[in-house]
Every structure is written in C-alpha cells, then in structure tokens.
C-alpha cells in the first residue's frame, strides 16, 4: 500500500515537471520569434530611392553646364546611383525626347562620361557642332564646351572636329574654341601639330587667329614655344610649328 502511494506521488511529480518544461520551451520560442520580428528592418527604409525624371534631367543639365562647380556636384549625385539603373533611365529619357531636343546631346554627353557606348554617343555630341545645329536652343559655344571636355577626358580625335568648327566661330563660340585649342596644344603639342598640319591653309589660318586669344599662362606659353622651336626644318611639321609660334607671339604683342 505504501509502495503504491509513493509510486503515485512520483508520477504526479513527473507530470508537473514535464508540463513545466514544455511551458519554458514554448516561452523561449515565442520570445525568440518576437525578438526576430522586432529587429527586422523593413526594406523600404533601406532601399535606395531613385530620382524622378525631372530631377534626373536637372542633374544631367547641371553636369553638362559650363559651371565647373555645378557640374562636379551633379556628377557626385549621379555617381551615387546604380550604374545600370542610371543607364536604363537615361536611355528611356533619350528615346522619349524629340529628335531636335537638345537634351539628347546632354544625355549622350553623360553617357560618354559613363563610358557607355562611347563611340555612338560621341557622334551625337559632335553632331551638335554642325553649322546648322539639328537641336533647338543649343548654341555653338555650348557644343564646343562639351567637345572640349571630351578632349580633356583624353579623346584627342575630337581636335579634328574642333579645327573644322573654326570656320563658323564667332563671339562666345570663338572664345570656347580658343580655350580648347590652348588645352590641346598645351597637353600634347606633338599631336596638336600633327593634326593641324593635315588641315587646309584656310583652316590653319582660322585656328591661328583664335589661338592669338589663348588661355595659356606665361609659363605654359613659353614651354609650348620651346617645343615648337625644337621641331627641325626637315620635319613635315616645321611649317605648322613656325606658324603656331607666330600666332602665340601675336598674343604677346
């Protein structure tokens, strides 16, 4: 009888212990699950927002402007966004623009900076240099400034297009061209001479006139002339070198 009572107490104790253990396990699972939910950050809070079409075009316009500070700030903004998404959105805006919309040139110039289909987009930028621009409200000085920046970016081939533009340059466009020629001559006088020497006498004369109002410092001017004087008479570049020296000396007088 006593043995039966002890066995009954043992069974009751075991049942209580098991029930308590199950309660602890259930509480732990609930607590852990609640912790996971509370620490989860909604994706909407961390997902990078995209620019609206209007804001995106404002950044493109600023980047393609002649204001160096504004252009640098705009490029910083554009660089913050995923490259492929940016290209996709700009491609869409380019396609939506009319054929004569100058924003096409600005988008193409931005693509050149992104090195996206560079050759194709460079052609669009260069087309804006035409005597009769195919784009509305896009004047020669703005076109030259963009091509000038392609030159500064390392594309020396655009010098040929800038030389050709001398035939129709006046006012602000002439000033922009003079600056572009100065940089081309300063940064690589050998390439500048080689390209200019292949042009007609009339084109060279027009280039020299614009070089007379160049943007070279006194030190840069002297360094360039030192190189030009080093071109030997036997070189097929000698004549062009001498003509260029005269143009730079005319600015000194």
Using one digit for the tens of pLDDT, what is the confidence trace for 60-116? 999 999 999 999 999 999 999 899 999 999 999 999 999 999 999 999 999 999 999
pLDDT of amino acid 213: 84
pLDDT reported for residue 251:
60
Predicted local confidence at residue 108, as pLDDT = 98
The mean pLDDT value of the chain amounts to 85
The share of the chain scoring above pLDDT 90, in percent, equals: 73
d(CA 134, CA 112): 20
Let me know: does 228 contact 189? Beta carbons within 8 Å.
yes
The reported pTM is 0.79
Residue 166 pLDDT greater than 80, yes or no: yes
Task: Report the pLDDT averaged over residues 218-247.
Answer: 96
Round to whole Å and give the CA distance between 98 and 89. Answer: 16
pLDDT of 8 reads 52
Confidence category of residue 45, pLDDT binned at 50, 70, 90: very low
> CA nearest 169: which of 181, 157, 158?
181
Predicted confidence at residue 215, as pLDDT, reads 84
d(CA 103, CA 93): 9
* Amino acid 170: pLDDT: 87
Tell me the per-residue pLDDT of 233-253, one tens digit each, with 9 for 90 and over. 999 999 999 999 999 987 665
Q: Which residue has the tokens 């009751």?
A: 12
196: number of CA atoms within 13 Å, CB side?
29
Q: Is the pLDDT of residue 46 over 60?
A: no
Instruction: Quote the DSSP letter at residue 167.
Output: G
pLDDT reported for residue 51: 80
- Among the residue ranges 39-43, 121-125, 247-251, the one predicted with the least confidence is 39-43
Q: Which residues contact 236 (CB under 8 A, 6 or more apart)?
A: 197
Q: Kindly compute the dihedral angle of the four CA atoms of residues 36, 37, 41, 44, in this order, to the nearest 10 degrees.
A: 150
Q: Which residue has the higher pLDDT, 247 or 215?
A: 247
- CA 110 – CA 148 distance, rounded (Å): 14
- pLDDT > 70 in the chain, percent: 79
How many Å apart are CA 115 and CA 223, to the nearest integer?
33
- Chain segment 11-38, per-residue pLDDT in tens: 555 444 444 544 444 444 444 443 333 3
Q: At what angle do helices 103-113 and 83-96 cross, to 10 degrees?
A: 160
């Amino acid at each position: 009888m006593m043995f039966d009572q002890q066995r009954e107490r043992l069974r009751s104790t075991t049942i209580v212990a098991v029930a308590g253990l199950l309660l602890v396990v259930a509480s732990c699972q609930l607590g852990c699950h609640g912790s996971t939910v509370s620490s989860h950050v909604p994706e909407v809070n961390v997902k990078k927002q995209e620019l609206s079409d209007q804001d995106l075009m404002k950044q493109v316009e600023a980047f393609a402007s002649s204001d160096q500070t504004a252009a640098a700030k705009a490029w910083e903004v554009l660089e913050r966004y995923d490259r492929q998404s940016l290209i996709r959105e700009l491609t869409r805006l380019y396609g939506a623009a009319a054929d004569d919309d100058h924003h096409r040139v600005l988008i193409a110039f931005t693509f050149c900076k992104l090195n996206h289909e560079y050759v194709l987009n460079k052609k669009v930028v260069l087309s804006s240099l035409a005597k009769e621009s195919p784009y509305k409200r896009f004047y020669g000085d703005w076109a030259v400034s963009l091509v000038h920046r392609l030159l500064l970016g390392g594309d020396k081939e655009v010098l040929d297009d800038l030389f050709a533009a001398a035939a129709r340059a006046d006012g602000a466009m002439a000033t922009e061209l003079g600056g572009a020629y100065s940089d081309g001559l300063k940064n690589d006088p050998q390439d500048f001479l080689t390209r200019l020497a292949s042009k007609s006498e009339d084109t060279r004369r027009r280039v020299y006139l614009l070089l007379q109002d160049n943007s070279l410092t006194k030190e840069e001017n002297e360094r360039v002339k030192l190189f030009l004087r080093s071109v030997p008479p036997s070189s097929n570049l000698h004549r062009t070198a001498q003509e260029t020296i005269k143009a730079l000396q005319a600015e000194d007088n």
